[in-house]
Structure 1
Amino acid sequence: MIASDILNVSSNDKVRAMDYSPLALAYIGDGIYEIFIRTYVLEKGNMSVNKLHKASKKFVCANGQAKIYYTIQDLLNDEELAVLKRGRNAKSVSAPKNADIRTYRLATGVEALIGYLYLLGKMERIEELMAIGIRELEGIKNEK
């Protein structure tokens, strides 16, 4: 895989994406989630790296991801919801550092969903869900 292909996965192979464990999906989903958040924060304006990091903290912590879980769960189709729940129910061998186990598992569910959608090449769907989650964490009312 060359660098230009990393964010442009074009596989629509559901079997391949479902072959991964929920924790493997969360592993790649964590990276993709981080890229979306860093891009969002960077687009707010040029600032020091320290300020960028502080601006992204509420999005990348388990509590923030758990809020996103509750915000998007009713917007998912059956397949996406199943992946979200697989991620949530996965038993991790590592213990969360800054969150209780329930919050940590909800965050893992969100990361697993993002990873799954990424492997399917569904970047537009990730963007849609991330935008909804960001609005929730920023306290922006959904304008219709």
Structure 2
Amino acid sequence: METGLENLKELFHLEDRDLRTYSPLTLAYIGDGVYELVIRTILVKHGNCPVNQLHKRASSLVKASAQSAMMEILEPMLTPEELAVYKRGRNAHSPTMAKHATMADYRRATGFEALMGYLYLKEDFLRIFQLVRAGIPEDKI
């Protein structure tokens, strides 16, 4: 049985690329979706509840300020490779900015999302889950 992204790669004829060649904003683009899906999965697996409640809970965890706060917890736990990816994402200059975030929070959140994207494309799903678990206080889920 194939695991990870193998089926997706096979069905769409996708080739592996050197992850170092991806721009940090491209990594953040996919990382945003990955993190959102992880959070939604956690919330849904906790039990059925109204969709508007799910949305409110998810929104509170995926907003830039929440991701920025997570990075304060996670940064000391990162490997040198992960820290380098995070810093590339954090220091990338995006043409847009979140509506309800400080520039510092937005930059740290972009770094976090770049890290999530990098780990996803690297197919290191366990590490994604470990970092999300470590970064979110128990009472927030």
Please state which band the TM-score falls in when normalised by the shorter chain.
Answer: 0.7 to 0.9
What amino acid is the match of 1:9?
A: L
Counterparts of 1:76 and 1:14 in 2: how far apart (Å)? 24
Query: TM-score if structure 1 supplies the norm length?
Result: 0.84
CA pair 130-73 structure 1, distance change in 2 beyond 3 A: same
Offset at residue 78 of structure 1 (A): 0.5
Instruction: Verify the 8 A CA contact 1:68 1:136 in the aligned structure 2.
Output: no
Query: TM-score if structure 2 supplies the norm length?
Result: 0.86
What amino acid is the match of 2:81?
A: E
CA pair 34-137 structure 1, distance change in 2 beyond 3 A: farther
Aligned pair partner of 2:65 in 59, 63, 66: 63
1:85 is aligned to 87
- Aligned length, in residue pairs: 133
Offset at residue 60 of structure 1 (A): 0.5
Instruction: Verify the 8 A CA contact 1:67 1:137 in the aligned structure 2.
Output: no
What runs of 5+ residues in structure 1 fail to find an aligned partner?
A: 140-144
What runs of 5+ residues in structure 2 fail to find an aligned partner?
A: 10-14
Counterparts of 1:64 and 1:136 in 2: how far apart (Å)? 14
Identical aligned residues as a percent: 45
Counterparts of 1:82 and 1:136 in 2: how far apart (Å)? 28
